[in-house]
Amino acid sequence: MAKLRMIDQSEKHDRPHRRFNPLNGSWVLVSPQRSDRPWQGAQETQAQERTSRHDPSCYLCPGNTRISGDVNPIYSGPYVFQNDFPALLPGPKSDENAEQDPLFERQEVQGETRVICYSPRHDLGLSRLNLADIEAIVALWRSQYLELSSQYANVQIFENRGAAMGCSNPHPHGQIWASDFIPTEVAREDSHQRIAYDKNKRPLLHEYALRECQDETRVVLKNSHWVCVVPYWASWPFEALVLPLENVSRLSDLNDDQARDLAKILKEITTKYDNLFSTEFPYSMGWHGAPTQNADFPHWTLHAHFYPPLLRSASIRKFMVGFELLGEVQRDLSPESAAQILRETSIIHFNDQIELLE
């Protein structure tokens, strides 16, 4: 398990300051002098490692019956199906065109939601799967995106890992929500990237990726086609941003080499997360790309956000409460310190290290 180092004196005496997030226009308050305050608050229950390859009671394992009554096939790779409890529904909208009260406005929407089981293995998430398995997941993301983007304005691919992030089933899986509207966070990113592009004639996040590679202070991982950083404006303690080094705007734009390197960096960052506190590290991860309409989006850069809540150990998490809810996001551990801790964390999973020792 990684031992969190104490902040150095330059950090300890650094004044509180705010950092601007040019991607969505928000600010985050950084208070490095609070990093070594004592903690007597609530602690999460540490996740137990799963040892069974197949759980007969799991709704997502091969051959099992889901709550809907449908039976999963005996799948051998990533498996996708329509969500049994969809948040969005396809089909025609009503012809309701009545003028609405601006204080009680509503908008009918349609879409589809799907579930992707990463593998038949109940006990292996991205950090424990081999590269070929993760490459198959990336290939499925690309094909699902291509299919759904022909019908919907936005295709959101994401994963909630762990009960701390609201995951209702422990079998490693992700989700796809395709909608005929642009969700709020994507719309904000679209607006701010467009503003930056109109001003500088360069994609904001592509320029940012190149600058981070030059500085290296916040770089956690890098390969031929991708870089993973703790963003300068990070909100969550060990937040990460995965960016392409060649500017692409959508998952469907990736070539095979980029897809292979993406699988590698996903395995490495999720392994580092697990190794940080020797636990199945919870997070929400998701892809943002250009809206799917037939329009010009030169300002867009494809990217993945990782939002993990753990702060000091496997049982202590960051809560977005109080000032965060009523004022703005605040963090204690500086993004630079978080990046250094992650950089120094092994990319060999701690379970694999134990097996090697045995």
For residue 3, how many other CB atoms are within 10 A of its CB? Answer: 8
User: Does residue 27 lie in a domain region?
Assistant: no
User: Does residue 256 lie in a domain region?
Assistant: yes
User: Does residue 223 lie in a domain region?
Assistant: yes
User: Does residue 54 lie in a domain region?
Assistant: no
Q: Please state whether the predicted TM-score (pTM) of the whole model is above 0.85.
A: yes
Residues 157, 287: contact at Cβ < 8 Å? yes
For residue 260, how many other CB atoms are within 10 A of its CB? Answer: 19
User: Does residue 33 lie in a domain region?
Assistant: no
Q: State the residue range of the domain holding 282.
A: 184-357
Q: What CATH number should be reported for the domain holding residue 288?
A: 3.30.428.10
Task: List active site positions.
Answer: 173
Cα distance between residue 322 and residue 319, in whole Å: 9
Q: How many domains does the chain have?
A: 1
Those residues with Cβ within 8 angstroms of residue 168's Cβ, 6 or more apart along the chain or in another chain? none
User: Does residue 315 lie in a domain region?
Assistant: yes
User: Does residue 331 lie in a domain region?
Assistant: yes
User: Does residue 236 lie in a domain region?
Assistant: yes
- Burial of 261-300, coded b for 16+ CB within 10 Å and e otherwise, reads bbbbbbbbbbbbbbbbbbbbbbbbbbbbbbbbeeeebebb
Q: For 301-355, how does the pLDDT look when each residue is reduced to its tens digit (9 = 90+)? A: 999 999 999 888 887 888 888 888 899 999 988 999 999 999 999 999 998 876 5
Has residue 196 got a pLDDT over 70? Answer: yes
Q: pLDDT band at 12, cuts 50/70/90?
A: very low
Q: For 64-76, how does the pLDDT look when each residue is reduced to its tens digit (9 = 90+)? A: 999 999 999 999 9
